[in-house]
């Protein structure tokens, strides 16, 4: 166990995880369904360190006693072979900085996989997903490529709340990242989720909305019905943001560029282009389109980062 490395892709939810029934265990109120971002993710290397844990991100040491380092230390407590054993965790992320594309998700997923191999734990997929979830809820979906579904589960201890990959592949599907802002967000998704559940009068509708979204997404994926997939994912993201906007105080991750781009997408769609968006807890948009329109989309949005989720030869 001198050293172990693992890679995990970032993921974007088409049916969002928004709201917890248990904040300590990261147990969600609803199930969710995501698509992984192929070569955009995190590679984590683990070694033993002397005297204290040591964390590096993209070649820079993470200061001890920051919120980030204490979250990592807390996560590692579950794995420490004995109290005087310390970890060196070196993570390299290919996710564009501040893209709002779940850097914590791929980070905790890669760390869980690296721990499994470093400590020869031989954990099965469900156990790995449950452990990754403890680091960050959406990390439980980042252990696989392609479509992944996280079952909310019912148990209080969370042992039935884990993700599994879907068997369907959709090689023509593309995801585009459109980044408008690189500043740190004003409110973390963790805090925003908490505030929404407690204060939004619209939140009581959310579980039924997600249940319907999931049924429709499954038929869209089974039938390879792109219009249905795109429209369903877009409506789910807008419903999630409606719960945020109606929380008290209101949470608005939208920038003028976000809204202007939504309107441009709606206009292009009215002209016949099959283009949809989804948005997470940040101002950036993730576009959904098909390979046949990739050139046109790249011309229309020159800064877009276009991802082919099943073209896996580039993934680590």
Shortest Å, Cβ 184 to ligand 2P0: 14
Q: What does the alpha-carbon distance between residue 57 and residue 217 come to, in Å, rounded to a whole number?
A: 35
Give the length of the chain: 316
Q: Which is nearer to ligand 2P0, 47 or 190 (CB)?
A: 190
Mark residues 109-138: x for contact with ligand 2P0 by CB under 6 A, - for none: ---------------------------xxx
- Stretch of 102-110, 119-127, 164-172, 227-235 lying at the interface with ligand 2P0 (CB under 6 A): 102-110
234 lines the binding site for ligand 2P0 (CB under 6 A): no
Shortest Å, Cβ 138 to ligand 2P0: 3
Q: Which is nearer to ligand 2P0, 1 or 198 (CB)?
A: 198
Question: Beta 86-93 vs 54-57: how paired, if at all?
Answer: parallel
Contact (Cβ atoms closer than 8 angstroms) between residue 215 and residue 161:
no
Strands (E), the chain: 3-15, 20-22, 27-28, 32-49, 54-57, 60-61, 86-93, 147-150, 163-165, 173-178, 276-279, 285-290, 305-307
The answer for residues whose C-beta is within 8 angstroms of residue 238's C-beta and 6 or more apart is none
Query: Helix 125-135 and helix 103-118: axis angle, to 10°?
Result: 130
**Nearest residue relative to ligand 2P0 (C-beta):** 137
Q: What does the alpha-carbon distance between residue 203 and residue 240 come to, in Å, rounded to a whole number?
A: 9
Q: Which is nearer to ligand 2P0, 43 or 104 (CB)?
A: 104
* Helix, strand, or coil (residue 43): strand
Mark residues 263-292: x for contact with ligand 2P0 by CB under 6 A, - for none: -----------------xx-----------
Shortest Å, Cβ 3 to ligand 2P0: 27
- Please give the residues from 183 up to 212 whose contact with ligand 2P0 meets the rule CB under 6 A: 189-190
104 lines the binding site for ligand 2P0 (CB under 6 A): yes
Number of residues lying near ligand 2P0 (CB under 6 A): 16
What do you get for the CA distance between the two ends of the chain, in Å? 21
Contact (Cβ atoms closer than 8 angstroms) between residue 146 and residue 35:
yes
- Stretch of 11-19, 36-44, 54-62, 291-299 lying at the interface with ligand 2P0 (CB under 6 A): 11-19
DSSP for 174-212, please give it.
Answer: EEEEE----SPPSS-HHHHHHHHHHH-TTGGGHHHHHHH
Q: Which is nearer to ligand 2P0, 88 or 207 (CB)?
A: 207
Q: Which two tokens stand for residue 117?
A: 């191999």
- Stretch of 15-23, 91-99, 172-180, 256-264 lying at the interface with ligand 2P0 (CB under 6 A): 15-23
Shortest Å, Cβ 139 to ligand 2P0: 6
Residues that bind ligand 2P0 (CB under 6 A): 13, 16-18, 26, 32, 102, 104-105, 136-138, 189-190, 280-281
């Amino acid at each position: 166990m001198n050293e172990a490395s693992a890679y995990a892709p970032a993921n974007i939810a088409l049916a969002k995880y928004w709201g917890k029934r248990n904040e300590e265990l990261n147990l969600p109120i609803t199930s969710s369904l995501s698509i992984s971002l192929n070569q955009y993710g995190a590679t984590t290397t683990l070694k033993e360190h002397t005297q204290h844990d040591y964390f590096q991100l993209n070649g820079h040491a993470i200061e001890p006693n920051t919120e980030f380092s204490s979250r990592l230390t807390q996560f590692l407590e579950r794995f420490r072979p004995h109290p005087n054993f310390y970890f060196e965790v070196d993570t390299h992320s290919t996710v564009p900085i501040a893209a709002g594309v779940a850097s914590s998700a791929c980070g905790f997923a890669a760390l869980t996989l690296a721990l499994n191999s470093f400590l020869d734990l031989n954990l099965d997929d469900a156990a790995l997903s449950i452990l990754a979830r403890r680091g960050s809820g959406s990390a439980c979906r980042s252990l696989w490529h392609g479509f992944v579904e996280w079952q909310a589960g019912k148990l209080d201890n969370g042992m039935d709340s884990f993700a599994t990959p879907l068997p369907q592949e959709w090689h023509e599907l593309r995801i585009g990242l459109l980044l408008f802002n690189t500043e740190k967000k004003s409110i973390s998704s963790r805090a925003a989720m908490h505030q929404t559940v407690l204060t939004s009068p619209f939140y009581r509708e959310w579980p039924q909305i997600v249940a319907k979204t999931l049924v429709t997404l499954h038929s869209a994926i089974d039938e390879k019905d792109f219009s249905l997939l795109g429209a369903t994912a877009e409506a789910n993201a807008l419903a999630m943001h409606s719960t945020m906007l109606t929380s008290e105080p209101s949470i608005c991750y939208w920038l003028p560029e976000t809204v202007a781009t939504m309107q441009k997408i709606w206009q292009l769609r009215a002209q016949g282009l099959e283009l949809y968006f989804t948005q997470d807890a940040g101002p950036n948009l993730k576009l959904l389109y098909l390979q046949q329109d990739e050139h046109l989309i790249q011309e229309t949005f020159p800064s877009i980062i276009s991802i082919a989720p099943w073209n896996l030869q580039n993934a680590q």
